[in-house]
Amino acid sequence: MIDAPYVAPVSSLAGSSPIPFRGAGFLPADSPKPMLSWIATMLVLCIWQIASLLGWVSPTFLPGPIAILSALGDLAISGKLWTDVSASLVRILVGWSLGTLAGLIIGISLALFAVARSIGVPLISALFPVPKIALLPLFIIWLGIGEGSKIFTLALAAFFPTAISTYTSIDSVPRNTIRMAQSFGVPIKSIIARVLIPGALPGIFSGMRISTALTLIVLVAAEMIGANEGIGAFVILSGTLMRSDQLLAGVVVLSILGLLIGTGISALDRAFLKWR
Amino acid sequence: MELIIDVRNHFYGTLLALSGIQLTVSSGGVVAIIGPSGCGKSTLLGIVGGLLKPTDGLVSSRGTVPDGCLNPLTYVFQDFSLLPWMTVSQNISFVLDHHSLSTVEQQRRVADVIKQMDLSDFAHAFPRQLSGGMRQRVGIARALVVRPAVLLMDEPFSALDAQTRDLMIQDFLDLWVRERITTLYVTHNIDEAVRLADQVVVLSRRPGRIKAVVPIEIPQQRRQEIEFAPNLSRLRDELWSLIRDEAITANREFAHD
């Protein structure tokens, strides 16, 4: 038995050279710095505000943050904000829900049935890249200038990413888990409901992130083309009147709406995907 | 339950994977199938359990099933095949849900196997929170909960590290000694085969044919005893020499999978 390991005493480093530290990968080593983020944001806003106070940029060209906030406040008090926001919310809620529902149904059918796949996949692949807003004029001819044509366009914008993400994520559920279920005699209906769909859920949720972002874009564009109420209509009207402060107040509302939708999906994610 | 396996030919496309496999797995026995990688061991197990249709062949069973048996031929998978969104107890009761057991009976069965496999502390954990060994314990618990007549084990411990594998083999042996469930056990590990099997079936490289059937007469519980060490060592050498050349040749062929 050897008592001591064969390591030379530290006194004999003569003639050796230390091995340098060469890095530990590119992952951020430091903890995130939330204070820094806040300071940077405030700094940008301050510089912006000072620039507009000193008259470096004309208020029509780019109003300062305080002017935008006060425009937002005025809109909230006059009630104009709520009519526009609620009109937009109804459109996006109804349109997105219909499109998502149809996308889920079609996506599941594509994943499960070879016939549906042969017919559907080339069709969907061909139509997916078409900017849906380009079809709004056609839908206006079909359905009139009212809510129907806008909601239909929104539904279409939500439909494609949902159908494709549902189909591909069901398709990529590991075959082994399906074989496992079959080897225990689990009926096909349970395999769909308890293996395929839960396994596809993470992919379906990332599809929803895309579809909500797309519907928001299409919503604004559709409201700019032909609507009396709605945030998009408000933004384009403000532009025509050269009211940049109101215009940007509308943009702020849109960005808040986008953030809220993103947070909502993250909450869904957390609630349903605890197991990850 | 006894299994009568007769797979004359099995093709993957135009590639002959298995040929002339005639084999009887007698009731209460453990038959290990070993062979070089790609020899069709797992394919054979898939055919036996009805997950693959043989091109030309038939697998039959004879005899009675245990009381309360819900799924006579039951797999334990190499990758465990747990559902990551279900807890341990949900993963186990998942394979009972479509049977018309009373809630009480179902809960009792699940609780029994959880206790039997030492999973009580983990009943509500998700698979990702478990080590590989614990995951396969869930896999075995899920197999036992249906009271199988035959266990089809597809390299069940090969994804585990050496120490864990050793412990799992011992545990499985204790279980098998208690319950004597007929077992067909696919492995590439000669040591595993020699510890567990009554009979070791050696397959040749592709197309897999039966190259030898080597019986091991020493009772499983006594194989760790020193007096049998020389015998078992000789057996290991014999099995190794049987698959050595096959493994070397198979290794140098193109992979077709």
CA distance to partner chain B, nearest, from residue A5 (Å) = 26
Whether residue B51 and residue A179 make contact (CB cut-off 8 A), yes or no, is yes
Whether residue B83 and residue A194 make contact (CB cut-off 8 A), yes or no, is yes
Q: What band does A28 get if pLDDT is binned at 50, 70 and 90?
A: low
Residue A55 counted as domain residue: no
The one-character DSSP state at B187 is -
Q: B228 touching A, CB under 8 A? A: no
As for how many domains chain A has, the answer is 1
Residue A255 counted as domain residue: yes
Residue A146 counted as domain residue: yes
Q: What band does A245 get if pLDDT is binned at 50, 70 and 90?
A: very high
pLDDT at B46 over 80: yes
pLDDT in tens, A187-235: 999 999 999 999 999 999 999 999 999 999 999 999 998 888 999 999 9
Residue A242 counted as domain residue: yes
Residue A46 counted as domain residue: no
Region B174-189: mean pLDDT is 91
Q: What band does A1 get if pLDDT is binned at 50, 70 and 90?
A: low
Residue A22 counted as domain residue: no
Q: For residue A23, what pLDDT is reported? A: 79
Starting at the edge strand found earlier in the chain, the sheet holding B150-154 runs B73-76, B150-154, B182-186, B30-34, B199-203, B210-215
Residue A54 counted as domain residue: no
Residue A15 counted as domain residue: no
- Nearest chain A Cα to B81, which residue? A177
SS3 B4: strand
pLDDT in tens, B133-152: 999 999 999 999 999 999 99
Q: What band does B84 get if pLDDT is binned at 50, 70 and 90?
A: very high
Region A73-98: mean pLDDT is 93
CATH of the domain at A149: 1.10.3720.10
pLDDT at A2 over 70: no
Range of the domain at A85: 65-272
ipTM for this model = 0.91
Spatial CA neighbour of A214 closest among A263, A160, A163, A268: A160
